[in-house]
Amino acid sequence: MTIRLLLADDQELIRHALGVLLGLEPDFEVVASVGRGDEVTSAALEHRPDVALLDIDMPGLDGLAAAAVLGAQVPGCRVVILTTFGRTGYLRRAMEAGAVGFVVKDAPADALADAIRRVMAGERVVDPALAAATLAAGESPLTARERDVLIAARSSATVAEIAARLYLAEGTVRNYLSGATTKTGTRNRMEALRVADERGWL
Amino acid sequence: MTIRLLLADDQELIRHALGVLLGLEPDFEVVASVGRGDEVTSAALEHRPDVALLDIDMPGLDGLAAAAVLGAQVPGCRVVILTTFGRTGYLRRAMEAGAVGFVVKDAPADALADAIRRVMAGERVVDPALAAATLAAGESPLTARERDVLIAARSSATVAEIAARLYLAEGTVRNYLSGATTKTGTRNRMEALRVADERGWL
DNA sequence: TCCGGCTTCTGACAGATGTCACGGCCAGGA
DNA sequence: TCCTGGCCGTGACATCTGTCAGAAGCCGGA
């Protein structure tokens, strides 16, 4: 009884190497391999994998969104997120998107195969250190609007631009940014943005 | 006549997968595999590889610095930089550090083996798109001090901190930052820092 | 019903930031 | 020799940012 795998990672070299690595396991078979998030679902519908390994950083659709779509359209396919950074925020969002496994690329070499087999056995698999970090980071203390303003700040340089984009007064924007910096324990919007992003609060 | 390889990448899963992939080639042999930049040289001295494949993002010592050390201490070993982002600035710095090859991880699966063989044949191997982007980005227009101040700005939040670190007046720091934003065509220090970093001007 | 929290806005103020004009220094060319 | 242009360094100034206090409207829970 072989486990059918779908691989999604935008770095072709890495995807191919992972495919070779997993193909060496006697009970695994890589049945599909894509480089874009928006190709995941159609490939899964065509090849019916048991487990989909999704990277997060992908063009078209990120791995978390792809996981959500996959869960809705191909219910028999279990999703394992395989990603570069042990960014704590991604874990929570991955679980919300229906993933049952979360493996980081700095994990030991056999962790991935192990995770796949345990997921097939019905377990949820998460890197323990990552799980602890996620618990430590806690729920987001930001209000919805503080979050909106921070996201807008990511691509706007000045308060005036953020205000224009969100149809708010400048003072309001400054207030939300101030609240965000307080809650993140930082000293200006840029640090607040970075911290909130790292913790998955955006 | 097999080509002896050293692999350096901090992501264990990826390093292992690449090792397996390259080990499948009949003329390759992976003789060493490390996860930290500062372990590269001692491993090279011990195992005498023909080619060292170095990632840039590594703890201890980054791949570019490791390449420079390697070139000085193990002259027979050719260096190929293998990295995630096609960041244009890294290419120039890699070449200055003595690397003879530069392969990005989004390259096609056989590009790596091909690059290794060509490097062994005495060629320099660079992704053509990356080379073009590097030429397009051009030389850095920043003066030495502007560069210093930008680098200091990366880890300091305020002008006062940067000034204290570089023993300059606050006005001077503001002036350099202003020059940097003008030359990068951006509107504040944060954008200037990001752009200069992307273009390899730091 | 009242209370508390969120959203939105305003006004005010200290402090940080970005821009400008200026002077000194040094190297290269007339 | 002097002049010019580039870089370094500085202080002054206007503007932007972050913080605080306050106020009105809205919604959900006690």
What pLDDT score was predicted for residue A137?
63
Q: Which of A91-105, B5-19, B31-45 has the lowest mean pLDDT?
A: A91-105
Strand C within 7 A of B147 CB = no
Give the pLDDT mean for A1-28. Answer: 94
User: B3-8 and B51-54 as β-strands: parallel, antiparallel, unpaired?
Assistant: parallel
Which residues in chain B are contacts of A20 at CB distance < 8 A? 17, 20-21, 24
Q: How far does the CA of residue A71 sit from the closest CA of chain B (Å)?
A: 26
Q: Shortest CB distance from A13 goes to which of B112, B188, B190? A: B112
Question: For A194 and C13, how far is CA from C1' in angstroms?
Answer: 28
Strand C within 7 A of A182 CB = no
d(CA A131, CA A127): 6
Distances (CA, A) of B75 to A6, A96, B67, B71, B101: 43, 52, 11, 5, 15
On the 0-12 / 13-18 / 19+ scale of CB atoms within 10 A, A185 is: exposed
pTM, 2 dp = 0.84
Neighbours of B40 (CB within 10 A): 30
User: In this model, does residue B87 exceed pLDDT 70?
Assistant: no
By CA distance, what is B21's nearest residue in A? A17
User: In this model, does residue A191 exceed pLDDT 90?
Assistant: no
Strand C within 7 A of B175 CB = yes
Q: How far does the CA of residue B134 sit from the closest CA of chain A (Å)?
A: 21
What six digits make up the tokens of B115?
Answer: 């690059």
Q: Select the more confidently predicted residue: A190 or B34.
A: B34
**Band of pLDDT at residue B45, cut at 50, 70 and 90:** very high
What pLDDT score was predicted for residue B187?
86
What pLDDT score was predicted for residue B15?
95
Residue A77 in contact with residue A55, Cβ under 8 Å? Answer: no
User: In this model, does residue B12 exceed pLDDT 80?
Assistant: yes
Give the pLDDT mean for B76-100. Answer: 84
pLDDT digits (tens, 9 = 90+) for A55-74: 998 999 989 999 999 999 99
Of B72, B74, B69, B80, which Cα lies nearest the Cα of B121? B80
Question: For A147 and C14, how far is CA from C1' in angstroms?
Answer: 27
Neighbours of B30 (CB within 10 A): 20
pLDDT digits (tens, 9 = 90+) for A130-186: 887 777 766 778 888 898 899 898 888 888 889 998 998 888 999 999 999 999 888
pLDDT digits (tens, 9 = 90+) for B163-177: 998 999 989 999 999
Question: For B196 and C6, how far is CA from C1' in angstroms?
Answer: 40
User: In this model, does residue A45 exceed pLDDT 70?
Assistant: yes
d(CA A122, CA B101): 45
**Band of pLDDT at residue A27, cut at 50, 70 and 90:** very high
Residue contact B13–A109, C-beta within 8 A: yes
- Identify the contact set of chain B against chain A, taking CB-CB distances under 8 A: 10-14, 16-18, 20-21, 24, 84, 103, 105-109, 111-112, 157-158, 186-188, 190-191
Residue A56 in contact with residue A8, Cβ under 8 Å? Answer: no
Distances (CA, A) of A64 to A46, A58, A78, A123, B158: 21, 10, 13, 19, 36
Percent pLDDT > 90 in chain B is 57
d(CA B185, CA A198): 28
d(CA A21, CA B187): 47
Question: For A185 and D16, how far is CA from C1' in angstroms?
Answer: 22
**Band of pLDDT at residue B1, cut at 50, 70 and 90:** confident
Helix (H, G, I), strand (E, B) or coil at B121: coil
Residues 6+ positions from B39 with CB-CB distance below 8 Å: B8, B60
pLDDT digits (tens, 9 = 90+) for B105-155: 988 989 999 999 999 999 999 988 788 777 776 677 888 899 989 989 888
User: In this model, does residue B84 exceed pLDDT 90?
Assistant: no
Name the one residue in this structure whose structure tokens are 């951006």.
B186
Residue A146 in contact with residue A179, Cβ under 8 Å? Answer: yes
Protein-covered nucleotides of chain D (CB closer than 7 Å) are: 6-12, 16-22
pLDDT averaged over every residue in chain B: 90
pLDDT averaged over every residue in chain A: 89
Residue contact B21–A24, C-beta within 8 A: no
Q: Shortest CB distance from B17 goes to which of A10, A17, A103? A: A17
What pLDDT score was predicted for residue A6?
97
Q: How far does the CA of residue A126 sit from the closest CA of chain B (Å)?
A: 16
d(CA B68, CA B56): 12
Strand C within 7 A of A169 CB = yes
Instruction: Give the residue nearest to nucleotide D11 (CA to C1').
Output: B171
DSSP B74: -
* DSSP conformation letters of A24-41: TSTTEEEEEEESSGGGHH
